[in-house]
Structure 1
Amino acid sequence: MLRTVNRVLLGVVGLVLLAFGAATLAVGLGASPPAWWLYDGPHDVLLSTARRTRWRDDGWWWPTVIAVLALLVLLALWWLASVLRRRRLGEVLVDTGDGAGALLRGRALEGVLEREAAGLDGVAHAHVQLTGRREAPQTRVRLQLEPHVDPGTALRHLTDQALAHARDSAALKALPADVRMTGVKHKAERVS
C-alpha cells in the first residue's frame, strides 16, 4: 500500500513540476502565454515587488511563512525516511557450523513460514514478514482465525510448530515474533 501511494505521489508531483517547468521555459523562450498564466513574457518577473512586499508589514506574515516551510521540510524528511527504510529483510545469515555461514533469502523463509502457519488447525489465512537484521531476524505474523479457534491455542501451535521449525532450520538462537490475530468475518447467507 505504501509503495503504491509513494509511486502515485511521486508521479503526480513529477508531472506538475514537469508541466510548470516546460510552460515556464516556453514562455521564457518567447512563446505567448495564455491569459491566466503567472507572468506575461520573457522579461516579466514571477513575483513583482508589490506582490512580494504586500504582507511584509503584517505581523502574521513571516511566522506563517516560516511555519509552512518548516512543516513542508518536516513532511519531506518524514517521507524520505519512510521510503529509505527497508521494511523487509532481504536475507538471513545461517550459521553452518564451519565458520563460513550461508545466506538464506528472506522471502523464501517468509514463504515457508507463511505456508506452515496457514496449515495450522483453525487458521484461515496467514501473512509473515521478516524484519530486523540478517544476524538477528524478527517476524511479524498476522493470522486470521476461524471463529471456533481459541487464540491461545493457535498462538501455542504457531510458536511450537511453525516458528520453532523456522528457527531450527535457519540455526537461529532466537526468532522473536510479533503476532496479531483477527477473526474471519463470514457473510450472512440466506437459507431457503
Structure 2
Amino acid sequence: MRTVVNRVLLGLIGLLLLAVGVSVLIGGLDLQRHWSFTMPSSWPFTGPDDVLLTARDRTRYRSDGWWWPVVFAGLGALFLGSLWWLIAQFRTRRQRQVRVDSGDGQGALLRGRALEGVLAAESEAYEGVGWAHAVLVGRRGAPEARLVLGLAPHATPGEVVAALDTAVLERARTSAGLAALPAEARLRAVKHRPSRVS
C-alpha cells in the first residue's frame, strides 16, 4: 500500500489538517490582534470567541431525527477508515510461504525465509558482493524478490545484476517451480572503516 498514490494522499490530508490547525490556532490565540496582521474576510476563525458551528448551524436539523445519528455514523466510519489506513502503513507484505510446484499436482509450501536465505547466500557468493539481504513479497503463488546488495569498490554493477538474473534468480525460479520471479535489486556501496598504515 506504500505507493506513490498513497504517499500523495497522505501528504494532501496532512496539508489539509495542517491548514485547519493553523486557522484554529491563529483565531484561538488571537494572533491577528497580537501580531497586527489581517486575514481575508472569508477566514473562518478571526478571534478566540469564534466557533466552528454557530448556534443556528447546530440547531438547524434538531427536529430531524436522522441528522445526528448520520453525523456520528459518518464520523465513526471516518475514524475506523483512518485507523485501518494507519495500521496498513505498518503491515508488511512479506511472504511467509511460497507455493512450490512439486510435479504431482499437489504442490508444497516452502517457508519464505528459507528462500530468502538462499537468495541472500547465493548473491553474497559472487565476486564483489560484500553482503546481501533478500525479502519476498507478493502473493503465495506469485512471489516477488526485493534484494539489497552491498557492492565492494572493485565490483561492476552491470555484471553483478546480470549474474543475479541469470544464475541466482533463475536457479530460484527453477527449484521452486515458479513461472516467474520478478525481482528488484538495490545496490549500495560497502562502507569500510579507515585503517591506519604505519
- Answering whether residue 133 of structure 2 is matched by residue 159 of structure 1, we say no
Shift of 1:78: 3.1
Shift of 1:191: 1.4
Amino acid aligned to 2:50: D
Tell me which residue corresponds to 1:142. Answer: 148
Shift of 1:77: 3.5
Tell me which residue corresponds to 1:174. Answer: 180
Alignment length (residue pairs) = 131
Q: Distance in 2 between matches of 1:90 and 1:103?
A: 10
Tell me which residue corresponds to 1:106. Answer: 112
- Answering whether residue 74 of structure 2 is matched by residue 82 of structure 1, we say no
Q: Distance in 2 between matches of 1:72 and 1:149?
A: 51
- What is the RMSD computed on CA atoms of the aligned residues? 2.8
**TM-score normalised by the chain length of structure 1:** 0.61
Tell me which residue corresponds to 2:193. Answer: 187
Tell me which residue corresponds to 1:129. Answer: 135
Q: In structure 2, the residue corresponding to 1:154 is in which secondary structure?
A: helix
**Once the two structures are aligned, what percentage of the paired residues are identical?**
49
Q: In structure 1, the residue corresponding to 2:106 is in which secondary structure?
A: coil
Shift of 1:82: 2.5
1:187–1:167 CA distance, 2 compared to 1 (3 A): same
Q: Distance in 2 between matches of 1:59 and 1:76?
A: 27
Amino acid aligned to 1:165: R
Amino acid aligned to 2:112: G
Q: Gaps spanning 5+ residues in structure 2: where?
A: 1-46, 55-77
- Show CA shifts across 1:93-148 (max 9, x none): 11122211111111111111111111111100000000000110000000000000
Amino acid aligned to 2:195: E
Q: In structure 1, the residue corresponding to 2:99 is in which secondary structure?
A: strand
Tell me which residue corresponds to 2:9. Answer: none
1:126–1:60 CA distance, 2 compared to 1 (3 A): same
**TM-score normalised by the chain length of structure 2:** 0.59
1:61–1:122 CA distance, 2 compared to 1 (3 A): farther
Q: Gaps spanning 5+ residues in structure 1: where?
A: 1-54, 63-70
Shift of 1:88: 1.1
Q: In structure 2, the residue corresponding to 1:98 is in which secondary structure?
A: coil
